[in-house]
Structure 1
Amino acid sequence: MATGASGGQPSVLSTLPKDLPLDFLKTITDQFSPERILGTGAFGTVYMGIAPDGQKIAVKKLAENTPIARDKVFTNEVQNIMALQLHHENVVKLVGYCHEAQKKVVQNNGRYIVADIVESLLCYEYLPQGNLQKNLFEVSCVMDWDTRFRIIKGICQGLAFLHSINIAHMDLKPENILLDDKMTPKIADFGLSRLFGQEQTRMRTQNVVGSYGYIAPEYLYRGEISTKSDIYSLGLLILETTTVEKNCSNNEPSATQFIKSVHDNWTDEHIVSQWPHLDGDRFQQIKVCIKIGLECVEIDRQKRPSIEEIVDRLNGLWSTGS
């Protein structure tokens, strides 16, 4: 294994993701068995893979009919995650990938022909607690506030890292935040991510794709992409995680009604009624998180705080175990 100049630590090159053979990924997922499915989304199906040494990994098999071209999704995920160069604890780790053609017999205009079918797969570290969506809204026991506050801080730290190297994620939502066995959050799913040039701060697109209830209005209506688009989605994530109320906005652009509900209802009195035994520090944390969340979802993107400002404000609050 190559080592750095100091001779002790592995170099970046030695820790980059590996190109894995398709047959190997078929074997470790039991031929993509339905029993191994961890989740399914717009970009494909995720399976649990168990390597020969017993290590578990998550294997995402990209679907053919993704919202954007499958090759583009694959390139986005591999290149943008590899652009991170060094692993950040709040960004999911890509451990391997596969882009391989295999000959298959397929039907074409009523005839059977042999064609090269390309399979695209991405392999990530396996995170046993699943996604934030499940942990917030699909389990009977509500996470305590200290855990939720650490998750909010971790998401913000991961996003600060992405923005510092000019990557806009463009699909932040609870389903794309994964949790390890210590409930450390990791930003996942870079299929829609954009890598900006060094002097570039925004771009335009005609092809607006993403999760309808989390898309920033300037992206939805004008195709404008910037890191402030992520801040809008982050604001919704912070509000959901703080209030444990779901943004049910799949048929409503940019979560307008959810934002209005939080703004109108989450007063000091309401916070106390929800958690009557909160101490002063935690009460202040909840108040500040709601305030930050509402600032993030300003329609005018210039009024939204930067991720650096958000992290500084959160770090200024007392936090158990931080």
Structure 2
Amino acid sequence: MVFSRCGFFLICMLQLPVLVVITEALVPQVLLSIECLGGNYTDNSTYQRNLNTLLPSLPSAGNGNGYGFYNSSFGENEDKVYGVALCRPFVDPDACGDCFSFASNNIKLTCPFKKEAIAWYDNCTLRYSDRSIYGTMETQPFYSRWNTQNVSTLDVDGFYNQFIALMERLRGQAAANGPLLKCAVGNATPPGMYQTIYAFLQCTPDLSLQQCSDCLAASLVDVRNYFFGKKIAVIIYPSCCIRVQDSVFYEPASIEALLLSANGTTSGGKKQSNSNTARTVIIIIVVAIVGSLVVIISVCIYARLRKTKKNLEVRSAEDDDLQFDFGSIRGATNDFSESNKLGQGGFGAVYRGRLWNEVDVAVKRLSRDSAQGDIEFKNEVELVAKLHHRNLVRLLGFCLERNERLLIYEFVPNASLDHFIFDPIKREQLDWDIRYKIIIGIGRGLLYLHEDSRLRIIHRDLKASNILLDAEMNPKIADFGMARLFNIDQTQAETSRIVGTYGYMAPEYVMRGHFSVKSDIYSFGVLVLEILTGQKNSSFQHQGNGEALLSYAWKSWREGTASNLIDPLLRTGSKPEIMRCIHIALLCVQQSVADRPTMTAVSQMHNSNSLNLLVPSEPAFFMPSGIGSSFDTSLGGESNSGETRSGQSKNSVQNSGQDLITEIYPR
């Protein structure tokens, strides 16, 4: 693996201006299909003469960009003929020219008197039309070819996931390449397979990034729906093409060097057509590689050792599989359009996107001046990538490219809990069965974070806007930017940077910077009371007398009128079950940290009605006056909260003490 990467780095350093393919013999021209389109022209007409003039001259140097793409037109007004020709980058110039010659002759024989036609060969595509076709993205008509045999794999799901990841990465790379050559190649060896799958994606270079991304996305959907898992699959549209098979059909280093040359050229230099010169260049490359091998390996080993010393980098092969190309995400979100925007928060915006495999995602695009810096970003990636639970939002990938920092999550269609529970109209949709399911689901997610995962994690920002609801109203805990890791023996930590949301933060955390699993328990208790009452803790005022939710809940419990806490819109449900939830919530918000139960105990209380509950004491009523609002979002939408993050809110609390950052200790 080290050698292959180093070899690529060496080729990149050489900055080769040209490169030809490995084959010396003339590649046979294989006709795939010819489609006759459009209206008709008459024999010996001006249009026919213009077409006969255009086709032979189209693949000439004056019409090309130096990388196998040609565009020209001939004639005037309604008799004007437009032509486009594209060669595959893995064929040499001689084979490319022969392909265009075959295509020019056959297209006129197959489509006599047709004003528009397209010819697809293995090595090239040739089009002409009576309308301008330059810079337009078209997916009709199309050609497809596949092998009837399936690839052999022991892990179908693993194969599918790696296939999607490979295709999404290559789609972004091809679309993001410069105006001279829009293509990408890559391979992967999915789990359960002994063979490697190879892929080639290409657009006509006249397409924009978005057009290329959309074209490839459409063709990949066809591959997924009809030809997924076949040993060979080819889809060719007028504007793009894809080829996937289980054997190598291109020279990776050749394509990479060609891309390097195209992307590093500003004025479209010409490719060398002399095959002898090209072979000489290849021999020089081989000699250079052999002569520099020792130096390159040494540099790579040093870089490898240096890389392992970085404490906060996104690492491991698993993380590599999660990394998305910026171009693919830009295409999936329609260039981060306002119409796809789900919300705007202190850390940046969240957009809805759709990947080529028709999977909807939520893309968290961190603003460049966001308070969440690289530490929080990498923190969230490292944490969520290692967490797998039905009640936690699933991280699909991330992107660290140029100045962009993106987190790609599963899309949760029902936005966040606060959109429902604090809305007097939507709240009616939440009957007791749904609310109880949400409470139990949040508890299970917290139990996983605190006890059942390989890592002990303190969320530190559990609140209604960070609970997302899927299509079945199952809750998913989101936003791990503020989360912290504890080692096996660690019970609490201190920080001088107080982050979170007033009304949900435990008093020992707000006042002294102490946090532990019991801090999340406190937030969980507040959240349960909000779900039961339909009221925000931070803005609750009983009968206008300024009495906060926790204070009113405790007073009602003590006076035997706890049923007054139940949301009037909650017209159905088991009253004993609701009252038990109020009891458990009050135990979670106790003033003393030691008096609060663990999530294991909370789970047992919910699961066993025969288990006697302790009598709660007076809870902590910490609610500073004059709480301001900040605009916050967590993948699903927008919410107002008294959120405080360092440097963001006038109500942020600064305490003395050391901010202890712990390393990851798997349990």
TM-score normalised by the chain length of structure 2: 0.41
Residue type of the partner of 1:91?
Answer: L
CA contact (8 A) 2:467 2:478 kept: yes
Q: For residues 157-236 of structure 1, what are the structure 2 equivalents within 5 Å?
A: 157-164=444-451, 165-236=455-526
Kindly provide the amino acid, as one letter, of the partner of residue 34 in structure 1.
E
Which residue is 2:440 aligned to?
153
Coordinate RMSD, CA, aligned: 2.9
- Show the counterpart of 1:26: 330
Letter aligned with residue 149 of structure 1: Y
Counterpart pick for 1:89 among 390, 406, 417: 390
Structure 1, 6-15 or 126-135: larger mean CA deviation? 6-15
After superposition, residues 232-247 of structure 1 pair within 5 angstroms as 232-247=522-537
* Conserved? CA contact 2:343–2:351, under 8 Å: yes
| Aligned 8 A contact 1:92 1:186 in 2 | yes
Q: Distance in 2 between matches of 1:63 and 1:236?
A: 31
Deviation at 1:17, TM superposition (A): 6.0
1:79-124 CA-partner distances (Å, limit 9, x unpaired): 111232xx210001000101111xxxxxxxxxxxxxxxx2111011
Q: How does 1:62-81 map to 2 (within 5 A)?
A: 62-67=366-371, 69-81=372-384
1:63 Cα deviation from its structure 2 partner? 2.4
- Please tell me the residue identity of whatever aligns with 1:40: Q
- 1:42 equivalent to 2:338? Answer no
| Counterparts of residues 294-309 of structure 1 (less than 5 Å) | 294-309=586-601
Q: Is the 8 A contact 1:149 1:242 kept in 2?
A: no
Deviation digits for residues 227-248 of structure 1 (CA, Å, limit 9, x no counterpart): 1111111111110011112222
| 1:283 corresponds to | 575
Q: Is the 8 A contact 2:532 2:565 kept in 1?
A: no
Q: Does 1:270 align with 2:555?
A: no
Distance 1:246 1:208 in 2: 21
Q: Distance in 2 between matches of 1:196 and 1:189?
A: 18
* Code of the aligned partner of 2:433: D
Query: Are 2:383 and 1:123 equivalent residues in the alignment?
Result: no
After the TM superposition, which of the residue ranges 25-34 and 166-175 deviates more from structure 2? 25-34
Residue of structure 1 equivalent to 2:552: 261
Larger-Rg structure: 2
Residue matched to 1:114: none
Q: Report the Cα offset of residue 35 of structure 1.
A: 1.1
**Aligned residue identity for 2:358:** G
Cα distance in 1, alignment partners of residues 588 and 392 from structure 2: 21
Change (3 A) 1:83 1:53: closer
Q: Which residue of 1 is the match for residue 635 of structure 2? A: none
What is the CA-CA distance between 1:42 and the residue it aligns to? 2.5
Alpha-carbon distance between aligned partners in 1 of 2:321 and 2:552, rounded to the nearest angstrom: 43
Deviation string for 1:146-179 (max 9, x for gaps)? 1000100000000000001310011000000001
**Among the aligned pairs, what percent are the same residue?**
39
In structure 1, C-alpha distance between the alignment counterparts of 2:420 and 2:568, rounded to whole Å: 19
**More deviation, 173-182/17-26:** 17-26
After TM superposition, give the deviation of residue 270 of structure 1 in Å.
Answer: 2.4
1:184-215: CA deviations, max 9, x gaps?
00000000000111221211111111112211
Q: Which has the higher contact order (CA 8 A, sep 6+)?
A: 1
CA drift at 1:137: 1.4
Q: Which residue pairs with 2:419 in the alignment?
A: 134
**DSSP 3-state at the match of 1:96:** strand
Residue deviations 1:134-154 (CA, integer Å, cap 9, x gap): 011136142101100010000
1:293 corresponds in structure 2 to 585
Q: Cα offset for 1:60? A: 0.4
Distance change (3 Å), C-alpha of 1:153 and 1:309 = same
Q: Residues 556 and 562 of structure 2 are in contact (CA less than 8 Å); yes or no, is this contact kept in structure 1?
A: no
Change (3 A) 1:9 1:58: closer
Compare 192-201 and 134-143 and name the one that shifted more: 134-143
Number of matched residues? 290
Residue type at the aligned position of 2:552:
S
Using the alignment, how far apart are the partners of 1:224 and 1:232 within structure 2?
13
Q: Which amino acid aligns with 1:70?
A: G
Which of 98, 108, 119 does residue 399 from structure 2 map onto?
A: 98
**Inter-partner Cα distance in structure 1 for 2:483 and 2:363:** 19
**Which whole-Å CA distance do the structure 2 matches of 1:43 and 1:274 have between them?**
36
Instruction: Look up the match of 2:172.
Output: none
| Structure 2 gap segments, 5+ residues each | 1-150, 159-190, 192-315, 541-545, 611-667
Is this contact kept in 1: 2:467–2:475, CA < 8 A?
Answer: yes
Report deviation, 1:7: 6.5
Answering whether residue 359 of structure 2 is matched by residue 55 of structure 1, we say: yes
Q: TM-score, normalised by structure 1?
A: 0.82
Q: Name the counterpart of 1:110.
A: none
1:78: Cα distance to partner?
Answer: 0.6
Contact 1:17 1:82 in 2 (8 A): no
Mapped to 2, the partners of 1:7 and 1:37 lie a distance apart of: 36
- Specify the code of the residue in structure 2 equivalent to 1:51: L
2 CA distance for matches of 1:312 and 1:301? 19
How far 1:286 sits from its partner (Å)? 0.9
Q: Structure 1: where are the runs of 5+ without partners?
A: 102-117
